[in-house]
Structure 1
Amino acid sequence: MNRNKIVFLILAVCFLMAMLWIGYDISTRTTFPGSKGNLKERITSGEADSLQVNKKEK
């Protein structure tokens, strides 16, 4: 093979490995939103808390 092709393939493999590593790292630090239970209840309770805070400020 041509020297330029070998350099390109090495760089491409390094880039792909870096992207896979970054994707794995991000996926281990986050959770899937559907796995959280009672999401609607937490959202509504959060809104109620913020409304109470706003009333106290006025």
Structure 2
Amino acid sequence: MLGENRLKINEISKAVGFLSEQSFYRFFRKAMNATPLEYRDQIGRSTDDSRM
């Protein structure tokens, strides 16, 4: 879902079952060692690189 830039992070957090965006951020950062926004940026860069 983070790879699809059309959804806001707070919309994603609700869609996957978190009651608050803060809880989603904490859980995601602990699991992925990056915030959802940092992860989205990394995905965007890797997708851009593969297009070249």
Normalising by the residue count of structure 1, what TM-score does the alignment of the two structures yield?
0.36
Which structure has the greater CA radius of gyration?
A: 1
- Larger RCO (CA under 8 A, 6+ residues apart): 2
